[in-house]
Amino acid sequence: MTDERELDDGLAAFDQLGREMAETNRLLRAVRSDQAARNQQEHDLSAEMRAALKQATGASQKALQAAKTEIRSSLLWTGLTAFLIVLVAFGGGYFFGQRDGWETGHADGYQKARNQEAAASWANTPAGQRAYGLDRQGDLDLLTMCRGNGWTTERRKGGIVCFPNADAKGNVTGWYLP
């Protein structure tokens, strides 16, 4: 039950990470689009500024230079802010995704090791050795399904009972146990 809850929590965190990454990508595209538009505006403005600078006085040149500096400063802060948002989003996603993935992987690996240890313990018992011997001879499937010469099944008390049945000569056949 707790493994399912942990898996559900991990999947929920993974879904949240996916939504955050999609939102981050959307914001990044918007910032890039905005930056491209501003670059185009700056390019267009730059051409107009050159024409205006040729005709303007020294005072108008100072005003245009101040406006240009302000635009660049805004672009710089916008770019830095977008970069920090992306960096925080990816860093947080990586941290939470790695932590949840490690916990899930650790739990799965521990359970598999316990299952293999239990199987190895049983395989070293006398019953496990006999089952292995029957399987090597190809008789284990016949034995478990009660199939083979001289063996029949009968339904009793809601279950199936397997028992030997003598043939016409009175011989009962079976399996050689290892």
For 40-77, the pLDDT digits (tens) are 888 887 777 777 767 767 777 777 788 888 888 888 88
pLDDT category of residue 1 using cuts at 50, 70 and 90: low
Domain region containing 67: 3-124
pLDDT at 103: 64
Same domain, 39 and 19: yes
> Do both 87 and 153 map to the same domain?
no
Q: What is the model's pLDDT at position 108?
A: 73
Residues 6+ positions from 74 with CB-CB distance below 8 Å: none
**Is 143 in the same domain as 61?**
no
89, 21 in Cβ contact below 8 A? yes
- Per the structure, the count of domains in the chain is 2
Shared-domain flag, residues 154 and 113: no
In this prediction the pTM is 0.28
| Residue 146 Ramachandran class (φ > 0 left, ψ -120 to 50 alpha, else beta) | left
What are the tens digits of pLDDT across the range 93-149?
777 766 666 666 666 776 777 777 777 777 778 887 877 777 787 777 777 777 777
> What's residue 141's pLDDT?
73
**110 and 139 inside one domain:** no
* One domain, residues 94 and 132: no
